[in-house]
Structure 1
Amino acid sequence: MDKVFVSGLEVMCTIGAYDWEKTIQQKLIFDLEMAFDNRPAAATDDLSLALDYARVSQSVIALVQSEPIELVETVAERVAALILAEFSLPWVKVRVTKPHAVLAARGGVGVEIIREA
């Protein structure tokens, strides 16, 4: 199975369990890998047969910005469920990085999950 990916998708949202976090916007960074058979789109050069990563990105942004969430674990699960359902994919890998949650962790902290339909 082929993979389609979105790397480094930055989303400003209300994320965090602490009271002060609930009053500000913070950045989350998403890296997504999605199983998709690219052969039909490649053979015909037809976008309607491809997994439209722009639509995937827009859907993720809309979901994450729709309401405050406390945990990056919750964000990852909701994003995975959305992608699997909305785009009818067999599996997805979702990595969510919260870049400034731990100051000493220069590359950020977060979670990575793999979910199947």
Structure 2
Amino acid sequence: MDKVLIRELKIETVIGIYEWEKQIHQTLLLDLDMAWDNRLAAASDSYENALCYETVSNRLTALITEKPIELIETVAEMVATCVMSEFNVPWVKVKVMKPGAVPTAQAVGVEIERGHA
């Protein structure tokens, strides 16, 4: 299976369950593995046949920053749904990390897989 990857997409947004979190922006880091047949893009050397990681990144940033969200689990599901429905990706693995959420951990996060490879 071919994949298109995005690593550590940094998004500043309002995320969290506590009242103080709802008043500030925090960083989320996203990793995505997206199933995509790269053969046509490679053979044609044409952007039109590729899954554009910049377009995906920009869309996800807009999605996650459009309104406050409480849970990173919600973010992961939103991302998976968006990528599969708007970009016709048949399978996606999404990891959402929240640096600094737990003082004694570098980051906490969730990882989900949706769709069929």
Per the TM superposition, whether the score is higher than 0.5 is yes
TM-score (norm 2): 0.97
Map 1:101-112 → 2, pairs under 5 A: 101-106=101-106, 108-112=107-111
Match runs of 1:17-96 below 5 Å: 17-96=17-96
Matched residues in 1 for 2:89 and 2:34: separation?
7
User: Identical aligned pairs, as a percentage?
Assistant: 53
Which consecutive unaligned segments of at least 5 residues does structure 1 have?
A: none
Corresponding residue number in structure 1 for 2:100: 100
CA distance in 2, matches of 1:105, 1:62: 28
- The runs of 4+ residues in structure 1 deviating greater than 2 Å are none
TM-aligned CA deviation for residue 103 of structure 1: 1.2
Where do 5+ consecutive residues of structure 2 fail to align? none
- Letter of the aligned partner of 1:27 in structure 2? T
Residue equivalent to 1:113: 112
Aligned length: 116
- Distance (Å, rounded) in 2 between the aligned partners of 1:78 and 1:89: 14
RMSD over equivalenced CA pairs, Å: 0.7
Pairwise CA distance, 1:116: 0.6
- TM-aligned CA deviation for residue 73 of structure 1: 0.2
- Secondary structure in 2 aligned to 1:16? coil
Letter in 1 for 2:17: A
Partner Cα separation in structure 1 for residue 33 and residue 62 of structure 2: 18
